[in-house]
């Protein structure tokens, strides 16, 4: 029996480590777009859009080429968020294995299209990067449930995976360095395509067929066991769907309470998907995410123009600060787990079911909003050296934002709705982020007023942690006044 338990533990750790590597090396590949563009320009993709200027024969205006590369990334990043709604639905209803096979097919199709593309077929980059984005986020969604294998560190693992996703832009930086050493872009992407066989093997060996339940049953296992052809008995302990539920006016008061119990105990009180979406927790969480994501997208989109303005057009200074910003983005995997540690800090205390997660989550939500406010203030100050600190705050806040988003949704709502809720919140926030485009035209004339407006907008993000805090205080007061309810909560 002891050997069996040790086998379970080994499989859990192998799943955790390989999942982390998968997110770090593949899932967020599309966000290394800046490094990829360097190579694509060398290869003269969209090169026909560069035109000779009137000043000298050697000088060319490539603004049309830059716009095409920007549009390729805009389409891919929008689909990365917007289609998460569909992806979440697929994950909830089709299970892990089918979702991962779809993700691998999309991701492999994207890498193969880049490998087969050429300057003559530059427009292949549109479907290629879009497939990379959608396939990559699907891999992330299926991996975040791995946190359920380690209940005491669940939020830490979820945020760690999101940090790895953010840092995976480094892979295309490696592709760029290899290109400068003589290895072609096509060779690198053929290699990435072949690596998809590793994802397939991991899907069958180290991932469940349906979902990893929370709370985890005793001696829970999954995947294919050596020497056993039938895995159905292994999967019997998994919870495959939400029990039947009905909408009720009491839904919101119990929306956060059932997290620490098994599905059997929650059969009568588990929320429907509709009641989750209509709850205050979801609506305020959506506002919290949308505002801060808009702030980050707007900052990235106007970074070059801001640096040119603060550096008085000094190209060397702009290049120096741009490189500093790119390097800080690689630190996302180091920053994200800090948020998870904050959210897991009450796990080992003798609290009521679900209370540990809630008491930790409002501090995490508050810190994330506070970081974004400080980041927005620093951005609005026209002092170039201060932007080094702004870059640090930006990557720290971005890591807290996306890791905290996934962790809170897994805490606040039933696990069987996680994929749909995660997809919905990302899709709606993607629509809100489109507001960055009209803001770009306004900031050219009134940069200070736009920054001040975004600072005040960021203040709205504090509504969410305040609401969760009030809910926790109310639940704690009820338990003190009615101790007999502790057994039922």
pLDDT-based confidence at residue 441 (cuts at 50, 70, 90): low
> In the prediction, which pLDDT does 462 show?
93
Across residues 425-430, what is the average pLDDT? 84
pLDDT at 89 over 90: no
Write the secondary structure of 154-202 as one string of H (helix), E (strand) and C (coil).
HHHHHHHHHHHHHHCCHHHHHHHHHHHCCCCHHHHHHHHHHCHHHHHHH
Pairwise CA distance, residues 388 & 272, whole Å: 46
The pLDDT value given to residue 227 = 47
Confidence of residue 172 (pLDDT cuts 50, 70, 90): confident
**pLDDT for 105 beyond 90:** yes
Please state the length of the chain.
489
CA distances from 427 to 84, 168, 323 (A): 6, 22, 31
Query: What string of H, E and C letters represents the secondary structure of 454-467?
Result: HHHHHHHHHHHHHH
Q: Can you read off the two tokens belonging to residue 104?
A: 């691998």
Asked whether 35 and 173 are in contact (CB, 8 A), the reply is yes
412: nearest Cα among 285, 256, 267 = 256
pLDDT confidence tier of residue 219, bands split at 50, 70 and 90: confident
For residue 31, the model assigns a pLDDT of 76
Of the candidates 403, 387, 243, 236, the one whose C-alpha atom is nearest the C-alpha of residue 322 is: 387
| pLDDT, position 272 | 80
Average pLDDT on 429-436 reads: 78
Q: Mean of the pLDDT values across residues 305-317?
A: 76
pLDDT at 315: 67
For 101-163, give the DSSP string.
Answer: HHHHHHHHHHHHHHHH--GGGGGGHHHHHHHHHHHHHHHHHHHHGGGGGSGGGHHHHHHHHHH
Q: Give the pLDDT of residue 236.
A: 40
Average pLDDT estimate for 113-138: 90
Highest mean pLDDT of the ranges 59-63, 157-161, 259-263: 157-161
Confidence band for 101, pLDDT divided at 50, 70 and 90: very high
Q: Integer distance in angstroms from the first to the last C-alpha of the chain?
A: 34
Q: Which residue has better confidence, 191 or 273?
A: 191
Backbone φ and ψ of 252, nearest 5°? -65, -35
DSSP sequence for 285-318? HHHHHHHHHHHHHHHHHTHHHHHHHHTTT-HHHH
Positive or negative, the Cα torsion across 19, 22, 27, 28?
positive
Over 80: is that where the pLDDT of 346 sits? no
For residue 249, pLDDT beyond 60: no
What 3-state DSSP class applies to 279?
coil
- Neighbour-count burial of 198, counting CB atoms closer than 10 A to its CB (0-12 exposed, 13-18 middle, 19+ buried): middle
Residue that wins the pLDDT comparison between 302 and 408:
408
How far apart (Å, rounded) are the C-alpha atoms in residues 272 and 443? 43
- pLDDT single digits (tens) 460-483: 999 998 888 888 788 777 777 666
- Between 226-235, 339-348, 419-428, 440-449, the lowest mean confidence (pLDDT) is in 226-235
Question: CB of 139 within 8 A of CB of 26?
Answer: yes
Residue 161 clears pLDDT 70, i.e. is over it: yes
Average pLDDT, the chain: 77
Residues 6+ away with beta carbon under 8 Å from 298: 436, 439, 440, 454
Range of weakest confidence among 89-93, 362-366, 458-462, 480-484: 480-484
208 in helix, strand or coil? coil
Distance, C-alpha 391 to centroid of its chain: 19
Q: What's the whole-number mean pLDDT along residues 376-405?
A: 87
Which pLDDT score, from 0 to 100, does residue 33 have? 73
Q: How many CB atoms lie within 10 A of CB 328?
A: 18
How many beta carbons lie within 10 A of that of residue 421, not counting itself?
23
pLDDT above 80 for 49: no
Higher pLDDT, 56 or 360: 360
Per-residue confidence (pLDDT) for residue 349, from 0 to 100: 53
Give the burial class of 229: count Cβ atoms within 10 A of its Cβ; 0-12 exposed, 13-18 middle, 19 or more buried: exposed
Ranked by mean pLDDT, the top range of 3-7, 140-144, 299-303, 361-365 is 140-144
Q: Of 182-186, 193-197, 255-259, which gets the smallest average pLDDT?
A: 255-259
* Distance of alpha carbon 250 from alpha carbon 244, whole angstroms: 16
Per-residue pLDDT, 247: 43
User: In whole angstroms, how far apart are CA 113 and each of 32, 81, 106, 109?
Assistant: 17, 21, 11, 6
Q: Tell me the range of 114-123, 146-155, 426-435 where mean pLDDT is highest.
A: 114-123
Give the mean pLDDT of 424-434: 82
Q: Radius of gyration of the chain from Cα atoms?
A: 24
* Greatest mean pLDDT range, 47-61, 280-294, 343-357: 280-294
CB contact burial 259-278 (16+ within 10 A = b; e otherwise) = bbbebeebeebbbbbebbbe
Q: What are residue 61's phi and psi, to 5 degrees?
A: -100, 110
pLDDT at 170: 76
What Å distances lie between residue 328 and 148, 214, 404, CA to CA? 30, 35, 20
pLDDT at res. 354 = 47
Q: Residue 84 pLDDT > 60, yes or no? A: yes
Backbone angles phi, psi at 51, to 5 degrees: -120, 150
Residue 113 in contact with residue 131, Cβ under 8 Å? yes
Check residues 400 and 319 and name the one with the higher pLDDT.
400
């Amino acid at each position: 029996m002891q050997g069996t338990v040790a086998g379970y533990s080994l499989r859990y750790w192998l799943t955790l480590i390989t999942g982390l590597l998968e997110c770090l090396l593949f899932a967020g590949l599309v966000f290394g777009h800046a490094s990829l563009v360097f190579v694509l320009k060398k290869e003269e993709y969209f090169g026909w859009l560069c035109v000779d200027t009137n000043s000298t024969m050697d000088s060319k205006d490539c603004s049309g080429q830059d716009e095409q590369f920007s549009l390729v990334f805009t389409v891919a990043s929008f689909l990365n968020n917007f289609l998460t709604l569909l992806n979440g639905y697929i994950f909830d209803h089709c299970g892990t294995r089918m979702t991962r096979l779809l993700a691998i097919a999309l991701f492999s199709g994207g890498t193969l299209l880049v490998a087969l593309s050429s300057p003559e077929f530059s427009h292949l980059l549109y479907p290629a990067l879009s497939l990379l984005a959608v396939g990559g986020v699907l891999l992330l969604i299926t991996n975040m449930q791995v946190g359920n294998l380690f209940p005491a560190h669940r939020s830490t693992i979820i945020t760690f995976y999101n940090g790895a996703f953010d840092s995976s832009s480094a892979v295309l930086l490696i592709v760029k360095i290899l290109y400068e050493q003589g290895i072609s872009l096509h060779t690198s992407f053929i290699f990435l395509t072949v690596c998809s066989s590793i994802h397939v093997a991991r899907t069958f060996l180290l991932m469940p067929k349906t979902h990893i339940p929370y709370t985890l049953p005793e001696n829970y296992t999954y995947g294919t066991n050596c020497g056993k052809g039938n895995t159905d008995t292994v999967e019997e302990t998994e919870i495959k769907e939400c029990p039947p539920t009905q909408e009720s006016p009491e839904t919101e008061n119990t929306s956060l309470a059932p997290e620490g119990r098994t599905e059997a105990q929650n059969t009568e009180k588990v929320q429907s998907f509709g009641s989750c979406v209509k709850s205050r927790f979801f609506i305020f969480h959506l506002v919290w995410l949308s505002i801060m994501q808009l702030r980050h997208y707007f900052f990235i989109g106007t970074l070059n123009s801001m640096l040119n303005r603060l550096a008085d057009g000094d190209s060397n200074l702009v290049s120096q600060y741009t490189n500093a910003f790119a390097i800080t983005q690689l630190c996302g995997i180091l920053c994200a787990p800090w948020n998870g540690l904050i959210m897991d800090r009450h796990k080992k205390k003798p609290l009521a079911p679900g209370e540990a997660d809630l008491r930790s989550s409002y501090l995490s939500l508050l810190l994330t909003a506070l970081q974004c406010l400080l980041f927005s203030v620093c951005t609005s100050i026209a002092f170039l050296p201060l932007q080094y600190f702004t870059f640090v705050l930006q990557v720290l806040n971005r890591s807290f934002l996306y890791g905290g988003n996934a962790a809170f949704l897994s805490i606040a709502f039933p696990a069987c709705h996680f994929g749909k809720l995660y997809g919905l919140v990302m899709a709606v926030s993607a629509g809100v982020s489109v507001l960055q485009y009209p803001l770009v035209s306004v900031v050219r004339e009134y940069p200070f007023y736009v920054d001040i407006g975004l600072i005040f907008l960021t203040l709205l993000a504090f509504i969410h942690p305040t609401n969760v805090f009030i809910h926790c205080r109310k639940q704690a007061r009820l338990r003190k006044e009615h101790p007999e309810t502790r057994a039922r909560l």
